[in-house]
Amino acid sequence: MITSRERRQLDPVKRILVTGGAGFLGSHLCDRLLEQGHEVVCADNLFTGTKRNIAHLLGHPRFEFLRHDVTFPLYLEVDEIWNLACPASPIHYQHDPVQTTKTSVHGAINMLGLAKRLRARIFQASTSEVYGDPKVHPQPESYWGHVNPVGPRSCYDEGKRCAETLFFDYHRQHGLEIKVARIFNTYGPRMHPNDGRVVSNFIVQALRGEPLTIYGEGLQTRSFCYADDLIEGFLRLMASPPDVTGPMNLGNPGEFTIRELADLVIELTGSSSTLDFRPLPADDPVQRQPDIGYARRVLGWEPRVPLREGLMRTIAYFDALLSGRPAAA
């Protein structure tokens, strides 16, 4: 019997599992993999994802949706696994923190076990949160981070750190081909309008003419990457030679304060919204910017879409969604 790895080498059309495929990033990834001619199995428990994100794919002959929770084992035959299942927004991952850790850790163990049986290459959607509230700026992959292990963000941060540990132990112990991406704040069409992340919050608030909620003084920074750029980075990392395991930062180095983001969203929507300053959540990182030198060097990748342009596309999506028109995404 030929192994999954051997089949992959022979057949350019792969059968691919995407966990979290009905989410924001997962649904864009499913689109791109189908465009490349692959068969895609999307496994998602729809906790933060929605069938709306994959509605256009449900009748596709090479697409299959499975309602499945990755904290339980999954038995499938696939050539490649992308593990994206995990709530990403602070309000969602803090809603049931024990489930968040289980999703990261048990989910990783289940997907790594599947990859081990199939000898399949496996990708992990890790996060800039592994750096916590960083003391090194910008953050290179060699930085070990500054993470509170017992705070409200720990279920996510430590869950993702443990998942990285598991990926590297399966790689060392079982020779699995792994690809670990550390994703920095990414935005775009198909973000959930109520998921509480800053870009979706500000756009929805501006379009509704409500005050934009700024936590703290809005002087904390983030670096925002447009979804299409990130997915291109994902694909290049997955296609890279086996010795390129990561962890690899993927994000846009353009750094903005939250206050600057609010001003830009107000300008681009033409909204008359005001600013509403609220208390800063616990352990909110002060400064965040990826050092993407490794991705540039090894993948020849860097983001192309400037914040202003990406915001305009995202605003158009939310505008259509909120007014009940079909939203181009």
Residues that bind ligand NAD (CB under 6 A): 19-20, 22-26, 44-49, 69-71, 84-88, 103, 107, 125, 127, 183, 185-186
d(CA 301, CA 133): 26
Token reading at 148: 């509170």
46 binds, among ligand UDP, ligand NAD, none (CB under 5 to 8 A by kind): ligand NAD
Q: Which is nearer to ligand UDP, 31 or 229 (CB)?
A: 229
Considering the complex, state which of residue 166 and residue 258 has its C-beta at the smaller distance from ligand UDP: 258
Give whole-number Cα distances, 133 to 10, 93, 153, 172, 276, in Å. 45, 17, 11, 29, 24
Question: Strands 80-83, 186-187: parallel, antiparallel or unpaired by DSSP?
Answer: unpaired
Among residues 93, 131, 143, 156, the one annotated as catalytic is 156
Q: How far is the CB of 9 from ligand UDP (least distance, A)?
A: 39
**Has 156 been annotated as catalytic?**
yes
- 276 DSSP 8-state letter: E
Cβ closer to ligand UDP: 53 or 220? 220
Enclosing H/E stretch for 166 = helix 154-174
Residue 149 CB, nearest approach to ligand NAD (Å):
18
Q: State the nearest-atom distance from the C-beta of 327 to ligand NAD, in Å.
A: 15
Question: 21 CB contacts (<8 Å, ≥6 apart)?
Answer: 27, 29, 30, 40, 42, 43, 44, 49, 54, 65, 82, 84
Element (H, E) at 258: helix 258-269
Least distance from C-beta 168 to ligand NAD, angstroms? 17
CB under 5 to 8 A by kind: which of ligand UDP, ligand NAD, none does 203 bind? none
Q: Residues in the site for ligand UDP, rule: CB under 6 A? A: 89-90, 185, 197-198, 201, 213-215, 220, 222, 258, 281, 284
d(Cα 187, Cα 130) in Å, to the nearest integer?
19
Q: Which residues are identified as catalytic?
A: 156
